[in-house]
């Protein structure tokens, strides 16, 4: 069963919305309250934003107005190489945005303040890197980059950076592009990494080496929150790596050589306000080198004599250039936003293991089973004991309390009255429905226990 995606590829409606947005910016030099209110209504409709109360909506409009003024001031600067826009994060203050996407600086997030390369497997890999690199490269054109993903309000950017780099080298070595499971890393990689509270790509690589592989995203899907580690999914080792290499800190020549051979994980400072509202162009800052975010370099190029990195983010396609940003290259020892400071990439020469066998039936109790990929839901309970089961046609589903329906694990709120499965989004003030013809599933296949 295919789940509805929260961040579909850009549609004609998106093009029309952003065209209207540009016209608004062009023709309104000093926005009035009514102008901004109308723009805010259009923005809410486009992004599907609703609020729990009139007070909340009023507050969000105020935040939106402040972000609008900031965007307009920046875009009127004649010498800026990039533009900002009222993207999906335009109703969040800068502090709210940082708390949502970047986690707390006091946490273990990325451990970038004093990075320790505990698992560095150098192995003289640089001797094998071509010293002559092409003038430009884009690994998307080579089919080595999966579609842009969204980490949601979970500080697991490290896992997306790590899987992106592994997806790239796996495609280069095997010819197969597999979207890998960030959720497995968030749930199971706990020796040094901390799930939604932060982590480091090197630790993720070592976890995958120790585990002898990682599962696919389709089999172990992302939930935007931590959950209990699924040990059975951990054993479904679809893609493997042999090791990893740390690029020498503050050595852009070595970083360029690495990106010429494969996508590379890097740490950056992603907490600047301009980064929150980035739209397009070559990002030149200002930004600090206090690393707090992980991204993936998937190529490099030049435009009008200005060199840049092609960077894949994990904030969905409504941010930046369909989820990407161009960041200026050759911009000092540490690089723009510290991009040269903490780079690493996985290494792979060995083939992947043979595909795992399909899962067997799901065991409900000693006598009752559901087909593979389905969930056992209790249909009749007496004194706390389940006496009969139904089978929900969804894997790892949430069983509703009416004992007759179930919902997907990423839409875990059962709305029996309206026949919908819901999830909490944004800052927790709203819910969104699972968009499917049969949104809330009626459990089927009565079985006696």
Which residues carry out catalysis?
Answer: 157, 293, 313
What is the secondary structure of 385-424 as a DSSP string? EEEEEEEESSTTPEEPTTSSEEE-TTS-EEETTTTEEEEE
Q: List 268's β-bridge partners, or say none.
A: 293
Buried b or exposed e, range 258-279, using 16+ CB within 10 angstroms: bbbbbbbbbbbbbbbbbbbbbb
Burial class (CB in 10 A: 0-12, 13-18, 19+), 19: exposed
Tokens (6 digits) for 66: 């402040």
Strand ranges inside 118-213, DSSP E:
137-138
Are 180 and 239 in contact by the 8 Å Cβ rule? The answer is yes
- Is residue 182 within 8 A of residue 347, CB to CB? The reply is no
Ramachandran region, residue 136 (left: φ > 0; alpha: ψ -120 to 50; beta: rest): beta
Q: How far is CA 183 from the centre of its chain?
A: 10
Q: Is residue 215 within 8 Å of 238, Cβ to Cβ?
A: yes
Pick from 260, 303, 308: nearest CA to 283: 308
Distances (CA, A) of 46 to 87, 96, 287: 10, 21, 30
H or E element that contains 448: strand 444-448
């Amino acid at each position: 069963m295919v789940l509805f995606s929260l961040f579909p590829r850009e549609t004609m409606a998106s093009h029309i919305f952003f065209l209207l947005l540009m016209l608004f910016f062009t023709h309104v030099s000093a926005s009035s309250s009514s102008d901004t209110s109308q723009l805010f209504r259009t923005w809410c409709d486009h992004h599907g934003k609703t609020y729990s109360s009139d007070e909340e909506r009023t507050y969000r409009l105020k935040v939106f107005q402040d972000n609008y003024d900031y965007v307009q001031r920046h875009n009127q600067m004649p010498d800026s190489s990039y533009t900002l826009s009222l993207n999906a994060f335009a109703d969040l203050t800068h502090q709210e945005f940082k708390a949502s996407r970047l986690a707390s600086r006091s946490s273990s997030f990325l451990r970038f303040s004093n990075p320790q390369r505990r698992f560095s497997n150098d192995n003289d890999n640089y001797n094998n890197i071509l010293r002559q690199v092409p003038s430009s490269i884009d690994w998307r054109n080579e089919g080595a980059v999966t579609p842009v993903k969204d980490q949601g309000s979970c500080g697991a950017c490290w896992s997306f950076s790590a899987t992106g780099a592994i997806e790239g080298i796996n495609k280069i070595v095997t010819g197969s592009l597999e979207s890998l499971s960030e959720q497995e890393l968030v749930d199971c990689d706990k020796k040094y990494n901390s799930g939604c509270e932060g982590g480091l790509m090197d630790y993720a690589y070592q976890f995958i080496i120790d585990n002898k592989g990682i599962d696919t995203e389709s089999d172990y899907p992302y939930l935007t929150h931590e959950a209990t580690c699924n040990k059975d999914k951990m054993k479904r080792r679809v893609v493997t790596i042999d090791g990893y290499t740390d690029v020498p800190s503050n050595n852009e020549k070595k970083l360029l050589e690495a990106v010429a051979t494969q996508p590379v994980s890097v740490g950056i400072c992603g907490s600047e306000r301009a980064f929150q509202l980035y739209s397009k162009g070559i990002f030149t800052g200002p930004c600090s080198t206090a690393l707090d975010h992980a991204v993936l370099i998937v190529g490099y190029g030049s435009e009008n004599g200005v060199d840049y990195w092609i960077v894949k983010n994990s904030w969905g396609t409504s941010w930046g250039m369909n989820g990407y940003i161009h960041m200026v290259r050759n911009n000092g020892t540490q690089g723009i936003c510290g991009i040269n400071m903490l780079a690493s990439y996985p290494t792979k020469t060995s083939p992947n293991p043979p595909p795992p066998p399909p899962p067997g039936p799901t065991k409900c109790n000693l006598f009752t089973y559901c087909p593979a990929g389905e969930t056992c839901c209790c249909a009749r309970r007496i004194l706390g004991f389940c006496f009969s089961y139904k089978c929900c046609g969804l894997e790892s589903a949430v069983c509703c309390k009416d004992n007759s329906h179930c919902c997907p694990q990423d839409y875990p709120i059962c709305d029996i009255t309206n026949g919908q499965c819901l999830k909490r989004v944004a800052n927790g003030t709203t819910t969104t429905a699972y968009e499917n013809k049969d949104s809330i599933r009626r459990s089927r296949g009565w079985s006696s226990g």
